Structure 1
Amino acid sequence: MDIGLKGVHVLVTGASGGIGLATVRAFAEQGAHVTAHYNTNNKTLGPVQADYENSVQAIQADLTNEDQVKALFQKAYSGTGQGSTTFGPIQVLIVNHAIYNDVSSPIADMSLDQWNATLTSNLTSTFLVVREYLARLREALESKAEDAAVVLIGSTAGKYGEAGHTDYAASKSAMMYGLTMSLKNEIVKIAPKGRVNCVAPGWVKTPMAEKSLKDPDVVYRALASTPLKKVATPEDVARQVLVLSSRYLSGHVTGQVVMVEGGMEGRLLNSRADVGLPEK
């Protein structure tokens, strides 16, 4: 099925991880030109670049650095696309990068350094990337701007909170609500058909979650309030990103937060023992 993404230039940040990598491949399969951003490790991108040699390029950048963000967009523009010498302006932006400290740290014990590092890496960097995207979108031809779309990657932590990881939850909540809802009103001033949405996964089988998901108690708490009783795959998330990125499928959808969490109803806070009941 052609969903209108062939030849569209897509930037995926944090592309070397589980969700990012699946998203790059999903766009490439649709015939898009994909710039796959990475920060420190691009080894996982090798196979998808080999499979889509002329349509996937990998570019390194520290997204907390304003100058490197600007350089990323310039390098992305002058890539080597199929049958051309340039990928052209970025039309679809997928903001997927994030850090998550897998050591639980309640607010009462959290250092200011950890708080600042998470907010800078997850939220301030997103501001820098989105700002550069919108600034360059102003210069794009009207025909290119018609496909303008931003998809932010949120988290169930942004909706329900996550004790011990308030820094991460706060950064994702800001993206899912304040940023998404404001940007949907701003993008149309630049690209009248531009859209901004958010995909918010729960637990996903990614390298970042691998250590936590080895703990049966973590898995139980993740699935106890989830009707589908399973952990998502990166592909589950990537497909929803595709849907929201496509003007053909979602041309009248903007300002939405799509939860990809198996119907999760909230956080399981207490075990049976915590409420004075014997374990079964």
Structure 2
Amino acid sequence: MDLGLENTHVLVTGASGGIGLETVKLYLSLGANVTAHYNSNSEPIQTLKVSFPALQCAQADLSSESAVKSMFDALSETPFGPVVVIVVNHGIWASQDVPIVDMTIEQWNHTMSANLTSSFLVCREFLRHLRAATESVKDRAAVVLIGSTSGKYGEANHADYAISKSAMMYGLTTTLKSEIVKIAPRGRVNCIAPGWVPTPMVQEALNDPAVSGPILAATPLKKFATPLDIANQIAVLSSSMISGHVTGQVVFVEGGCVGDHTLVI
């Protein structure tokens, strides 16, 4: 199926691995021009870049206001032209279990900055550049944020992560969908909320049967999603041709799994 994304400039944040890297590969296969963002590890992107001239890299600490502004300013000057679609995929998840009663303010602030404030900065800068874009760009403008099932159900011992995702899903997404149309009347904002996906960030946790067992037992499809499962939904939501009347939605990709199963571990 043609998603109408050929030659569309797509920015994917947190593209060094897992869902981000798989999303980059999918967009490239669909003919898009892709900017793959990274903070510290560019090796997987550089390896991919050898085979794909329609791929470029961008380094930035997205929790820095000046770094986000500089990144978008630089991207607007590249041959790919202005960014049309952004996939806000970056984020951190602390592998150590820390209940709220023991959580430090340093951990809380670090997670909020890395996951939520950075997403606000990326979306804000995208909108600011969108103001000066052509009508053709504005008509196809789309934001896809990556939330989490923990943003709906919570996650015991990982409140900082769950709350950062909840704010993204139910505050940022739903507000942005009402504001983007003031700049781009056809602009859309949606969110994908994956369940557990075996990525480098959480693979160690999922290797523990005490973690993976209860999750799979409560998942009707009896399997974890792959990064490509998530990437496919991202691409569909970003397509104005296929999803042009879909905005403000949180789409769960979790195999039917419901609830915070860390509670029963």
Match of 1:19 in 2: 19
Distance, in Å, in 1 between the alignment partners of 2:259 and 2:41 is 34
Task: Specify the code of the residue in structure 2 equivalent to 1:2.
Answer: D
Identity over aligned pairs, percent = 59
Pair 1:225 & 2:225 matched? no
Q: What is the aligned-residue RMSD (CA, Å)?
A: 0.9
- Kindly report which structure 2 residues correspond to 1:70-81, keeping only aligned pairs within 5 A, or say none: 70-79=69-78
- Deviation per CA, 1:126-176: give whole Å up to 9, x if none: 111100000000000011111100000000110110000000000000001
Is 2:193 the counterpart of 1:200? yes
Unaligned runs of 5+ in 1: 80-85, 272-280
**CA–CA separation in structure 1 for the residues paired with 2:35 and 2:167:** 25
Q: Equivalent residues in 2 for 1:47-126 (5 A)?
A: 47-53=47-53, 55-79=54-78, 86-126=79-119
Residues 50-79 of structure 1: CA deviation (Å, up to 9, x unaligned) = 2212x1101110001111101111222233
TM-score, normalization: structure 1?
0.92
Confirm or deny that 1:7 pairs with 2:1: no
Instruction: Verify the 8 A CA contact 1:63 1:125 in the aligned structure 2.
Output: yes
The CA deviation at 1:253 is 0.3
Distance 1:104 1:233 in 2: 24
- 1:185 counterpart SS class: helix
In 2, the alpha carbon distance for the partners of 1:98 and 1:215 equals: 22
Give the deviation of 1:92 after TM superposition.
0.3
Larger C-alpha radius of gyration, 1 or 2? 1
| Aligned-partner residue type, residue 20 of structure 2 | G
| 1:32-63 Cα deviation digits (max 9, x unpaired) | 1111000000111123212212x110111000
SS in 1 for 2:182: coil
- The 5 Å alignment of 1:140-179 reads 140-179=133-172
Write the distance in 1 (CA, Å) between the matches of 2:101 and 2:51. 48
Count matched residues: 264
SS at match of 2:193: strand
TM-score normalised over the length of structure 2 = 0.98
Q: What is the CA–CA distance in structure 1 between the aligned matches of 2:29 and 2:21, rounded to whole Å? A: 12
Per-residue CA deviations over 1:67-115 (Å, capped at 9, x if unaligned) read 1101111222233xxxxxx111111010000011000000000000000
Residue 22 of structure 1: how far off its partner (Å): 0.4
Structure 2 gaps, min length 5: none
Query: Greater RCO between the two (CA within 8 Å, min separation 6)?
Result: 2
Determine the C-alpha separation between the residues in 1 that align with 2:89 and 2:159.
19
CA contact (8 A) 1:225 1:267 kept: no
